Amino acid sequence: MSNLVLLLTVIVIILLCVFLGKESKKKPIYQVVSTPVAGGVHSQSVSTFLMLNRDKFTNEDYLILQQELAQISPEKEQMLYAVELKNPTTILIVSLLLGGWAVDRFMLGDIGLGILKILTLGGLGIWTIADYFITYKKAKRYNFEQVMYVLAD
């Protein structure tokens, strides 16, 4: 009986991760208007993307993105809005509320570490507490890696 309850709990947690992990995708702005910036020219949609998602990147990553996006092709510019960015504040709240069940790890794509965290009961609580401090920046790093992956293709 307890195994069944544990199995159902894990299934519910995974479903929550999938549901909470989906951020609403922003609609692309196709009007192309040039905006001068240091090191290049941004179209209006790239400037809008950067402005709308400023809080989803670290300061260092944001500066790198500004430079990388200055020379972006129109095809990749449209792909920017298909990137699913995580809200770091949401990830932090999930970590505080459901971190012991590794929901924060699953939302950031760390499936292996999430399973390990569940099996070790959050590293006997130590790992869970450490994640309170780690997940906010990790979510911002995750977003940066997602955008860079699109730009690298």
Task: Dump pLDDT digits (tens) for 97-117.
Answer: 999 899 999 999 999 999 999
Picking from 21-35, 70-84, 103-117, which range would have the lowest pLDDT averaged per residue?
21-35
The whole-angstrom separation of Cα 121 and Cα 94 is: 17
Instruction: Identify the band that residue 74 occupies on the pLDDT scale cut at 50, 70 and 90.
Output: confident
